[in-house]
Structure 1
Amino acid sequence: MHGDFIWYELMTPDANSARTFYSKVVGWTIGASGGEPGYAMIEGSEGMVGGMLTLSAEMLRHGARPAWLGYVAVDDVEQALTSIKQLGGKVWMPTTEIPQGRFAMVADPQGAVFYVMTPKPPPGQEDKESLAFSYERKRIGHCAWNELMTSDPAAALRFYSQNFGWVKDGEMEMGPLGKYEFLSHPSRRSAGTMGSGMIGAVMPMMPGAPGPTWLHYFRVADIDAAKAAIEAQGGRVLNGPNEIPGGDFSMNGVDPQGAVFALVGARKG
């Protein structure tokens, strides 16, 4: 459906190390990298979550850096790019066609980067929906929350509302840090098949943050075990685990190659 997060991609210069790290931390099954540039599929507990793109030396020379990026479904990529540009966004990579659909890399007006994609389901699976982002169930290894940190929350809310139909759905005060404003997908909420339709949230830039960015929270079975695995596998915990509404705990970290990521899960101890 237009406006859904349907895929997540890790860009990394060292696929083998990243495969080991995330398999231990999140519990993903990550396939072998194939093609040129290398691309490997990432599988959660109930299906595909995303892919891992190996950054070549040429990509690195042109400015590519380790990062996680999300894909948002759109009905028509070219129409989406026109709208994104008209509303102050930028196109960083023009439309590319692959057997799975058409996609492009873009940035919102404040500079947060993401992909838009018109997927092409396999024959006979036209009604199958992506489970990369889990609206309602606590699927281990799947994305549970999408958080935008931006220099202008009000402008970002307008941009994403006009392009994808997302709306503000409540807020939480963070004291001097500002408001944490929740995002939902009304079409999902009205359909009744994807729970509340809650996507994530928009928040102001934190002190010391390098720039506007999307942060995607993947669900783990045990947040403390994940923290121990991050440290044992050469990653670094930036903050957390911190208790969040609902009883889960969230945590931000950076993998050994430099990509920032986030996790959410229960505390078993």
Structure 2
Amino acid sequence: MTEAVSRRTPGTPCWVSLIVHGLSATQDFYGALFGWEFKPGPEQLGPYVRGRLQGEEIAGIGQLPPDRHLPIAWTTYLATDDADATAETIRSCGGTVAVGPLDAGPAGRLAIASDPNGAVFGIWQAARHAGTHLWGAPGTPVWNELITRETSSVAKFYQAVFGYEAQAVVSADFDYQTLHLDGRPVAALHGVGHALPRDRGPHWMTYFEVEDTDVAAARVVELGGHILQPPREGTSGRLATVSDPEGAAFTIVRSGER
């Protein structure tokens, strides 16, 4: 399903990007795994490409300067109508703005921030580039979820910044809240307690649709990546958590509704 370029409700996940050391090798990995083709730009972001499927933009991959040693991780971008105002709100609510707000040429304006627990996310004020244009097809992002220790305190932060309505799963042993905008679920918060990976801390997780989770997981390994959590059945379908050769973690899922 192709979505027309239009305003995204603030708080809606609208784009994902990855900054790596080896841009060419990373393109090879995701091109082979998801069938992405790549288009360079915007130039303001340095060496940067946009992965495309069926002529539609899916995700961005950029290159770290050689002297920078940052964690390699997919970043979820949340839509905003005013990146500067949202950056101020993030700060006033206990978050941190690490980069920007800055212009990405005519594409839009962005900032990179973190919530009070340290999970990194982006905000995107669209101009020419509204974000991901293709949803649901294999190779596209289909869900974004914050993996954190516990959800109650950090939920207040995201609700204050973006106006989400949160719906908690009522369970004694499952800490999970779905974030809703305009009456529909757009993302989730998942508290995992002591199961949170020590090497990553709280982080946003991108889910990519695949035709077959087991086949895709095996392909990840063939291409030099790793399986972090093997294929299993979940509420959203059959999923596995994997990482690319540089260690960026993501989840692959064959959604149950397909």
Q: Is this a same-fold pair by TM over 0.5?
A: yes
| Aligned positions of 1:126-205 closer than 5 A | 130-131=131-132, 134=135, 138-171=136-169, 173=171, 175=173, 178-185=174-181, 187=182, 189=183, 196-205=184-193
Matched, 1:242 2:250: no
Instruction: Measure the CA separation in 1 of the matches of 2:210 and 2:97.
Output: 33
Contact 1:147 1:203 in 2 (8 A): no
Matched, 1:263 2:252: yes
Instruction: Measure the CA separation in 2 of the matches of 1:231 and 1:52.
Output: 20
Partner of residue 192, structure 1: none
Q: What's the offset of the Cα at 1:184?
A: 2.0
Instruction: Measure the CA separation in 2 of the matches of 1:45 and 1:154.
Output: 40
Partner of residue 93, structure 1: 99
Match of 1:115 among 118, 122, 142: 122
Partner of residue 28, structure 2: 20
Instruction: Measure the CA separation in 1 of the matches of 2:14 and 2:156.
Output: 21
RMSD value over aligned CA atoms? 2.3
Give the partner amino acid of 2:209: R
Instruction: Measure the CA separation in 1 of the matches of 2:128 and 2:165.
Output: 27
Corresponding residue SS for 1:31: strand
Q: What's the offset of the Cα at 1:163?
A: 1.0
Is 149-158 or 31-40 further displaced after alignment? 31-40
Is 145-154 or 199-208 further displaced after alignment? 199-208
Identity %: 26
| Closer, same or farther: CA 236–173 of 1 in aligned 2, 3 Å | farther
Corresponding residue SS for 2:68: helix
Q: What's the offset of the Cα at 1:85?
A: 0.7
Partner of residue 126, structure 1: none
Give the partner amino acid of 1:114: F
Partner of residue 72, structure 2: 66
Task: Summarize deviations over 1:123-157 as a string: whole Å, max 9, x none.
Answer: xxxxxx544584xxx32222111111123411111
Q: What's the offset of the Cα at 1:59?
A: 2.6
Contact 1:103 1:115 in 2 (8 A): yes
Partner of residue 198, structure 2: 209
Q: What's the offset of the Cα at 1:215?
A: 0.6
| Closer, same or farther: CA 184–240 of 1 in aligned 2, 3 Å | farther
Corresponding residue SS for 1:82: helix
Match of 1:105 among 112, 118, 123: 112
Instruction: Measure the CA separation in 2 of the matches of 1:149 and 1:207.
Output: 7
Instruction: Measure the CA separation in 2 of the matches of 1:179 and 1:133.
Output: 30
Corresponding residue SS for 1:215: strand
Corresponding residue SS for 1:58: coil
Partner of residue 50, structure 1: 59
Partner of residue 81, structure 1: 87
Q: Which runs of 5+ in 1 are unaligned?
A: 123-128, 190-195
Would you say how many aligned residue pairs link Structure 1 and Structure 2? 244
| Closer, same or farther: CA 133–71 of 1 in aligned 2, 3 Å | farther
Q: What's the offset of the Cα at 1:255?
A: 0.9
Instruction: Measure the CA separation in 2 of the matches of 1:213 and 1:7.
Output: 16
Q: Which runs of 5+ in 2 are unaligned?
A: 1-8
Q: What's the offset of the Cα at 1:37?
A: 2.4
